[in-house]
Amino acid sequence: MAEALGVVASAIAVIQISKEIISACKFYIEALRSDAPTSLRTVSIEVSTLKSVLENLEFISKCETFTAALQNRLAASDGPIEGCRVAMIALEKLFPKRSLQSGQNTSKRQKVQATFATLAWPLKQGQVQELLQQISRHREGIQLALTTEVTKDIKDIKAASEEIRSILTEEQGYRVCNWLTSTDPSPIHNRSRKLYEDGTGSWILRSQHWTDWLATRTRCLWVHGIPGSGKTILASWLITNIQAHCDRVSTSDSPHVSAYYYCYFGHHQDETAPFLRWVITQLSRAGLVVSTLMHDLFKRGTEPSVPELLGALEQLLQMFSRVYIVIDAVDESDPRDELLEVIQTLVTHQRFCNVQIIVTSREYIDIERGMENVSVSVPMANELVEQDIRLHIRSILRSNLKFRCWPHDVLHEVEDAVSKKANGMFRWAVCQLHELQRLKGKREIVRLALQQLPKDLDETYDRIFRRIPPEDWQFVSHAFQWLWFYAELHPSYLHGTPSSLLFDAIESNYGSFADVFSVV
């Protein structure tokens, strides 16, 4: 225990030094711009990499994944962490304190240049290079120790996999998976994929969050945003990318697989058990195996509890080197307390150490509290998302026939205004374009409409409903009643009620519609 605390304390100390060095590098690079030595950027990159490794080490220690051998190896006086600490202290001393003299008329840049001149940085290049080499060597030592700790022996994996295999025919395995599946989210996934616009979503692939997650430096990403920001479509696209990643890196000795689940308020349920049941069936089908515990639950014939499902999942995880799970719209689980607890368990418990998770949801305080200590926050409202929204808007303006006769400068104004006011909401942007296409392309009319754009989705929907002619109110009312009625009969299809079925039902049953709803 003492060794573990010593390792964590040393790691935290080096992390703090790294923050100071990174801050100093950014300060001088931003101030000196093109005059900044390239070695400053090298220092920033190397120290940032070390910081990520040590933060991962700190996280693993909290999850109680340290063995005594690993603790002793890292805590040794001549170990890699102590080596990093000594080298980082020496590197920090090469930077002057950033205390600019006040009361002078010189610019900030001139002050920094003067400070940098006194630093005599060019004369210290050799020292910097030598220290970076030491830091790199010690960092690699830490990474090797961690990799050795978490890498499972292939023979052990094969032996464990034999233990969890049930001797079942293909038909019996199929029956077990069908019994376990209580909610099939694949229709939501397929419809969301159809709504994806080429080029959007790539912002997250360009982020450091994604790089760290794929490299397992981060266990869990929490992607959050307001309604209409495109979280579900982004999730469906990420699922496809993760599946492609698994296909690229997976081998017979080191299988990588993915699973997903979509929570949905129309399910009217706590999504905890359905989520676990669906993930277990996906992994069972991917590994062509049914765990003994899962088979026992099937033979028992009663509903499995959440702890039992977690046990079955733990058995299946022994079949794979890495399992990537995406769970969308956690906020739509009713209730969601237990689901958040299960996510925390999957991220922090050693028995699920080969699981990587992405969670999406709206920005609710209880979800934030549940996720803040186990995940990295990825807000949907950021500059990269705004670029994706602009790309989506540009695509619609170019492909929609109603916009083709508009002047190019007007289209540019529309693209600029809608992109800037979207605040990360894809649905809001699409609704505005749908309304704008009703206008004639005259500059004065369009500019007035752009000045009066609604501030959010609620105001957008309110305007749309207010525009419905009074003579159509009854028709619209019946249409929504039919949607509700159809959703009650087929909850998993609420996202995509066939329009032909909707209108045929309204037209053919108009006279008896009241009778239908008096029964419901």
Q: Are residues 121 and 263 in the same domain?
A: no
Per-residue pLDDT at 115 exceeds 70? no
Q: Among residues 466, 481, 500, which one ends one of the domains? A: 466
CA distance 408 to 23: 44
Q: Are 82 and 98 members of one domain?
A: yes
- Among candidate residues 103, 122, 150, the one where a domain is terminated: 150
Beta bridge partners of 359: 222, 327
Query: How confident is residue 108, by pLDDT bands cut at 50, 70 and 90?
Result: low
* Number of residues written out for the chain: 520
* DSSP alpha helix (H) spans, 63-165: 68-75, 80-93, 108-119, 125-150, 154-164
Give the Cα-Cα-Cα angle 424, 430, 435 (nearest 5 degrees): 130
Q: What span, in angstroms and rounded, lies between the C-alpha atoms of 441 and 434? A: 14
Same domain for 478 and 454? no
Residues 337 and 219 in one domain: yes
- The CATH number of residue 121's host domain is 1.20.120
d(CA 126, CA 368): 46
Whether cis (ω within 30° of 0) applies to the bond prior to 187 is no
Q: How far apart are CA 324 and CA 52, in angstroms?
A: 21
For the chain, the domain total comes to: 4
Q: Is 207 in the same domain as 132?
A: no
**Can you give the pLDDT at residue 456?**
84
What is residue 123's predicted lDDT score, i.e. its pLDDT? 57
- What the block records as the tokens of 264 is 């949905």
Please check whether residues 17 and 107 belong to one and the same domain: yes
pLDDT value at 444 more than 60:
yes
Are residues 309 and 192 both part of a single domain?
yes
Contacts of 381 (CB under 8 A, 6+ apart): 225, 226, 229, 423, 424
Q: Structural domain of residue 140, as residue ranges?
A: 2-150
Whole-prediction pTM value?
0.60
514 phi-psi bin (left φ>0, alpha ψ -120 to 50, beta other): alpha
* Mean per-residue pLDDT, 174-195: 89
Residues 6 or more apart whose CB falls under 8 angstroms from that of 341 comprise 370
302 and 420 housed in the same domain = no
- 290 and 358 together in one domain: yes
Closest CA to 292 of 436, 160, 474: 160
Q: Give mean pLDDT, residues 410-419.
A: 93
**What's the whole-number mean pLDDT along residues 255-276?**
94
Q: Which residues are paired to 221 by β-bridges?
A: 358, 376
Residue 517 has pLDDT above 50, yes or no: no
* Residue that is written with structure tokens 């929204």 in the block: 389
Residues 333 and 292 grouped into a single domain: yes
Examine the domain organization and report whether 248 and 391 are in the same domain: no
Average pLDDT, rounded, for the chain: 81
Residue 500 is predicted with a pLDDT of 46
Q: What is the CATH number of the domain that holds 270?
A: 3.40.50.300
Q: Rounded distance, CA 208 to CA 216, Å?
A: 12
Asked if pLDDT for residue 404 goes beyond 80, the answer is yes
Instruction: Give the residue from 358, 379, 400 where a domain finishes.
Output: 379
| Ramachandran assignment for 301, one of left (phi > 0), alpha (psi -120 to 50 degrees), beta (any other) | left
Same domain for 130 and 104, yes or no, is yes
Angle between helices 186-194 and 231-249 (to 10 degrees): 100
